[in-house]
């Protein structure tokens, strides 16, 4: 199993739950006048926050959602072919991943009305449901009424922000820009593109372009009142604010007493000596995603025999590569890389393999009876620029009632995804001037 330095201990609680203790230049705003630059912090809540679920139940739900999101991300590569076979606007619209795991607190309009919106680093458009609704899903807060806001203004079809939409039409009656976004789970939002004042914490930012959705179908967004895209495209919040930095710090998925935090602009944490930074890669086929420069993986003291090309982008069609994604729970590795990881992890872990599939994860082990800790191999992600030594709780999940401990990762075909469980209790800084993503271990509930 390797030397002691290659091992970490998974400490087990005596209750039903098992807790794992840790071991020893972006595109600019498309409108002619940029919005005011500001820095702020926003509270984030996990979508299952406050539901009084066990850690096992939280992971079971999140893994199911993660597999659906992985499927949507993978099917995006087929959307271009689909557009050539049909002429309908809905079918021609670009398919987006949609949904997410974290909600952010925002306020919209003048006077400001408070909402919870899905945070998504994998998409661009900012949107909320608007009156009058042709079709709207149920949400916990009143639907935004633009007629009651003095700062609401529709965007014309000749506006550059309208031109940035993947699918749009023009209202013949008043030259308004009409958007359509379709998501991989068949959810969609359609309405007028407009500008409005958005308030984040105590900071108000005017003239943010957003979708005022009057026709919103599907159940993929029912946990929030819309979505805030933080992708790399011109429609996203980070691009419209013309702020080159944002960061977030995610608490543990089962931490019912703490919330997570998003930092924008001047509030984003600056580099630290302990930070590991890796270059961002651009993918012209999917320009919104943040692609990482992963070179390899080490289990214990063994560097896996994975060719670097496995994590590289395919220049021909933009497939492959690894994105960092706040909206996917566990990390998914391209199938051949995951098979290597699984083989080595099983080899180094001195526990019987559990093949029951009871938790929905691919690599699980049976826990010894009455054990209060078990040894598992260390796990490092070797990025260009440095190796990220993951704490045990960022890749192992255990359940004493079922007698299993599992690796919180899975396999994919094509795209690999660095999920939010692997990012928990780290400051994750996106610097779009330097074109890097940086990681620094941080106690996120203390910020």
How large is the average pLDDT for residues 111-135? 93
Q: In sequence order, what are the residues at sequence separation of 6 or more whose Cβ sits closer than 8 angstroms to the Cβ of residue 136?
A: 129, 143, 213, 214, 216
How large is the average pLDDT for residues 3-13? 52
Task: Give the E-state strand segments of 159-287 in sequence order.
Answer: 168-170, 177-183, 188-200, 203-217, 226-229, 245-249, 260-264, 276-279
Q: Please report the DSSP string for 288-340 in residue order.
A: TS-EE-EEEEEETTEE----GGGGSB-TTT--B-EEE-TT-SSEEEEHHHHHH
| Segment of 9-23, 192-206, 220-234, 390-404 carrying the highest mean pLDDT | 192-206
Lowest mean pLDDT among 65-79, 106-120, 165-179, 384-398: 65-79
How large is the average pLDDT for residues 98-109? 86
Model confidence at 42, in pLDDT bands (50, 70, 90)? Answer: very high
Q: What is the pLDDT of residues 339-395, one digit of tens each?
A: 999 999 999 999 999 988 777 899 999 998 877 788 999 999 999 999 999 999 999
Percent of all residues in the chain with a pLDDT value above 90, rounded to a whole number: 57
What is the spatial distance between Cα 57 and Cα 44, in angstroms, rounded to a whole number?
20
* Omega cis (within 30) before 132: yes
Q: Is 445 a catalytic residue?
A: no
Domains of the chain: residue spans and CATH: 4-26+273-435 (2.40.70.10), 40-261 (2.40.70.10)
Q: Exactly one of 48, 120, 159, 254 is catalytic; name it.
A: 120
Q: Is 175 a catalytic residue?
A: no
Global pTM? 0.86
Residue 87 burial by Cβ neighbours in a 10 Å radius (0-12, 13-18, 19+):
exposed
Looking at residue 184, its pLDDT comes to 62
Q: How far is CA 203 from CA 155, 217, 267, 306, in A?
A: 23, 31, 12, 46
Q: What is the pLDDT of residues 164-205, one digit of tens each?
A: 998 889 987 788 999 998 876 667 899 999 999 999 988 999
How large is the average pLDDT for residues 284-313? 95
Residue position matching structure tokens 């994590």: 311
Note whether 251 and 425 are within 8 A (CB).
Answer: yes
What is the spatial distance between Cα 292 and Cα 281, in angstroms, rounded to a whole number?
6
pLDDT score of 26 more than 50: no
Q: Exactly one of 48, 124, 159, 325 is catalytic; name it.
A: 325
Nearest 5°: CA angle at 323, between 414 and 306? 55
Looking at residue 289, its pLDDT comes to 93
Tokens standing for 280? 């961002």
């Amino acid at each position: 199993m390797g030397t002691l330095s290659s091992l970490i201990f998974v400490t087990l609680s005596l209750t039903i739950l098992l807790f794992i203790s840790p071991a020893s230049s972006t595109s600019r705003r498309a409108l002619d006048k940029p919005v005011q630059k500001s820095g702020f912090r926003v509270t984030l809540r996990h979508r299952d926050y406050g539901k009084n679920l066990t850690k096992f139940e939280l992971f079971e739900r999140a893994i199911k959602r993660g597999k659906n999101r992985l499927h949507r991300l993978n099917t995006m590569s087929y959307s271009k072919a689909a557009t050539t076979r049909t002429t309908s606007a809905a079918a021609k619209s670009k398919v987006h991943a949609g949904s997410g795991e974290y909600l952010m607190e925002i306020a919209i309009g003048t006077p400001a009305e408070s909402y919870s919106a899905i945070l998504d680093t994998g998409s661009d458009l900012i949107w909320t449901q608007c009156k009058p609704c042709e079709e709207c899903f149920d949400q916990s807060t009143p639907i935004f009424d633009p007629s009651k806001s003095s700062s609401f203004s529709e965007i014309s079809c000749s506006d550059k922000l309208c031109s940035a939409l993947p699918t749009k039409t023009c209202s013949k009656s008043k030259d308004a820009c009409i958007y359509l976004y379709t998501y991989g789970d068949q959810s969609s939002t359609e309405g007028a593109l407009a500008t409005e004042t958005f308030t984040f914490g105590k900071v108000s930012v005017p003239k943010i372009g957003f979708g005022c959705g009057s026709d919103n179908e599907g159940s993929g967004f029912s946990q929030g009142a819309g979505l805030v895209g933080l992708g790399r495209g011109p429609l996203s919040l980070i691009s419209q604010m013309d702020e080159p930095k944002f960061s977030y710090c995610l608490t543990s998925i089962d931490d019912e007493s703490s919330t997570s935090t998003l930092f924008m602009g001047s509030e984003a944490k600056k580099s630290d000596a302990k930070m590991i930074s890796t270059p961002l890669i651009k993918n012209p086929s999917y320009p919104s995603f943040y692609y990482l420069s992963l070179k390899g993986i080490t289990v214990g003291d063994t560097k896996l025999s994975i060719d670097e090309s496995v994590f590289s982008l395919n220049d021909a069609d933009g497939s492959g590569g690894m994105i960092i994604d706040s909206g996917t729970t566990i990390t998914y590795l391209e199938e051949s890389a995951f098979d290597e990881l699984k083989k080595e992890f099983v080899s180094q872990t001195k526990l019987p393999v559990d093949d029951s599939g009871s938790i929905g994860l691919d690599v699980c082990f049976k826990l010894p009876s009455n054990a209060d800790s078990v040894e598992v191999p260390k796990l490092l992600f070797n990025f260009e620029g440095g190796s990220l030594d993951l704490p045990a709780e960022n890749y192992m999940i255990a359940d004493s009632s079922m007698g299993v401990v599992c690796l919180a990762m899975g396999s994919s075909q094509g795209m690999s995804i660095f999920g939010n469980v692997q990012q928990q209790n780290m400051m994750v800084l996106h610097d779009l001037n330097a074109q890097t993503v940086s990681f620094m271990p941080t106690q996120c509930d203390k910020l």
